[in-house]
Structure 1
């Protein structure tokens, strides 16, 4: 049975994860940027008489696990593969990388001539990076087909590639397309389920009409949450923080299509360390996190030179589990929010608390509930039965009236209202119809309890069209009303609590 604390923690973590999503406008800008570069590279190869390259995104943008940067000084990292149809016998690693540099220098020069989004070109160990003033960092990785690997292996073999590394003599193996397919297979059940629900909510003809980046499974949400916890935990130890592909790989291996976010997170965190392997390189035993679609590629290859990074990664995983356990065992909302604030950043958690309608410490008087949630007994309240998948905004406005349908006296504020007045609550939302509307009306306090009138059930609205609910004040204390919008079994929006303080 899910406890109130589990439900509250799940709601907060869902809200934290949702706040980490890349905004639609930023996602579209990223797509436009890498498509522009892709077209440029294709045109350059065509003008040089070369075979057409294959250019595609990899990393978190492809996997749906992008997180907003912690600060304005940081930015979004976009990873592109520039795969040329060449054999390794016909070109060296350095020649491949030099050819890409020539194309990208011309691209920067063309941007300067056009006076639009002029990036700075920098060399990395395996790629070239285009740094934009607006915070985007575009890593372009040169590659060629791994012909030997495509013949030797069966699973995901058709997309294996070879990449250059200026510090290593031999070509390095990779398979970003195969990796993305493997990652999707780890969450296929939940991905399909949520895409269908989104299609119903967005009035799409089929699930395939819903853009993949709009779908978020518990695995993707868990990875976003782990990335943010990592960023906060390693804020002053940047070089030793676990890289995203290690987190993503270990998390996906530990996930078993759980539908609940808390269950997913706990299973993932407890299982990740078990998927770190050890192999012999000569006489040296090294940690190994293999690419699941290319066993020759070790995502933890730098741990061999920096063994403290594995130690810190394992210590961090223990810290995540400790924080989640402490949050589940916290005695009240204030303790819960304090724990999460330390783990994920106080601002992000405060915003998530407001979104979930939960009071938090340090809030201004206007933002806090009339009586702190931790001081109100809510054991009689029904927990929302739906999986939270908030994609739309919703809010409640309320006015005070002498009687139902009479003229408005004033807006409902933090001021106490007398007994015997009527309250009109009105829903505003950007969620498209159709949806099911449910109301939760909560009474608290000794007066209501003495006469058996504690309320806390969630009930379907009689009429979704007018989006209005009337209530009558009868008992002293702090009460609230909240609305939930449901599509396809998922709560796609909730208003947060609209508090009512009734005078004695």
Structure 2
């Protein structure tokens, strides 16, 4: 059946600033090969559990939650090649008489022989660690009857011994994902272009003449709208600024809530990052004004509080707001043409990490070089051909796509020379 779209979206590769941001997002994506593998892995875990005595006929639902459920998975905190994936295992009646710690221990025991490098029982889940650095969190849940679909109680128990702090926590990850998808409709042109570029970088050819109506089937595992792409960039920004931090950091599900809340189709990528960040800053400032911690709950389940473990203090949330203001200030200066190319790249490396920004610049250089060899042209938003500036790129790409000698770049040309 053909699906009609209300929004085309903006191609992030048409604008020099949005283009580098989109390439940064591409650099932190779950690769196509691992995405396919991830989808198979959580089904394999379910099959394995159902073959054990303890869980036979006791798994009512087994479904992705968090970033995987909304196509927003990026590389793990402090790394560029590790990925955390989350699934919920809704359990049957046998487990309703058990304590939170006993349920977690039962799950840990059942997965003890699963063929991974190691497993670890956490406070709310059991984590499987794969050799390719993928981590899969399995969260046990019990259906909260009489509530919205799949609203459940999940376990919270630190262990190793029972504690008065052990409890069941209300959650509806399924309902939140449905809410998020409703708030962030597919932007067909944006999804098509991002999917094409994503596949190109993975060494696969994508059908250039793809019809807009075909985008959902072709892009079933890639970012489909600008709000989600902006969310990934904000999550990456958070990961970088908290890379050496030992405590809790702003939770991804909270950031996802703000992305859904602030979503506005047909908005430029850089503008969307700014928009989401400002919504978070405003709510933090309002809470801090009254000396309260930020409170963000699941919009479809009031008792599912996304900020139940962060922030721990007003000072902690104010610190994050300061970081977000720095992100907004930098992006606004770029959008207004108030930052020179080399300064931009230095700022981007500090904000998003040297490795992924350099990789993004090299990817652009390689694509521009290939386009020139094929007699194609890549234009900036004011009609000029945009070529990467050699001084911002390291490695072979820098020498193979050197720009011709022309006048010095002006701030509005972003990171390239305009001829």
Scaled to the shorter chain, the TM-score interval is: 0.7 to 0.9
Q: Deviations over 1:56-78 (max 9, x none)?
A: 11111221112224666972111
| Larger Rg, first or second structure (1 or 2) | 1
CA distance in 1, matches of 2:377, 2:308: 53
Native 8 Å contact 1:251 1:272 kept in 2: no
Q: 2:108 aligns with which of 101, 104, 111?
A: 101
Native 8 Å contact 2:190 2:224 kept in 1: yes
Residue of structure 2 in register with 1:420 after alignment:
none
Q: In the alignment, does 2:255 pair up with 1:247?
A: yes
Count of residue pairs the alignment pairs up: 360
In the TM superposition, 1:263-282 aligns within 5 A as 263-275=271-283
1:16–1:88 CA distance, 2 compared to 1 (3 A): same
CA distance in 1, matches of 2:233, 2:346: 17
Q: In the alignment, does 2:186 pair up with 1:186?
A: no
In the TM superposition, 1:311-330 aligns within 5 A as 311-328=318-335, 329-330=337-338
Residue of structure 2 in register with 1:375 after alignment:
none
Distance apart, 1:288 and its partner CA: 1.0
More helix by share: 2
Residue of structure 1 in register with 2:353 after alignment:
345
1:317–1:73 CA distance, 2 compared to 1 (3 A): closer
The TM-score normalised by the length of structure 1 is 0.62
Q: Deviations over 1:275-318 (max 9, x none)?
A: 45999xxxx95431111221112111123644443222222221
CA distance in 2, matches of 1:177, 1:267: 26
CA distance in 1, matches of 2:207, 2:259: 29
CA distance in 1, matches of 2:85, 2:55: 27
CA distance in 2, matches of 1:339, 1:133: 34
Query: Which runs of 5 or more residues in structure 2 are unaligned?
Result: 1-9, 159-164, 196-205, 389-399, 407-419
Residue of structure 2 in register with 1:164 after alignment:
155
Native 8 Å contact 2:254 2:296 kept in 1: yes
1:216–1:254 CA distance, 2 compared to 1 (3 A): same
Q: 2:44 aligns with which of 28, 36, 45?
A: 36
RMSD over aligned Cα atoms: 3.6
Residue of structure 2 in register with 1:65 after alignment:
72
Residue of structure 1 in register with 2:377 after alignment:
439
Distance apart, 1:146 and its partner CA: 0.9
Using CA pairs under 8 Å that are at least 6 residues apart, name the structure with larger relative contact order, 1 or 2.
Answer: 2
The TM-score normalised by the length of structure 2 is 0.74
CA distance in 1, matches of 2:117, 2:18: 40
Q: 1:175 aligns with which of 160, 172, 178?
A: 172
Q: 1:128 aligns with which of 120, 126, 129?
A: 126
1:87–1:316 CA distance, 2 compared to 1 (3 A): farther
Q: In the alignment, does 2:60 pair up with 1:53?
A: yes
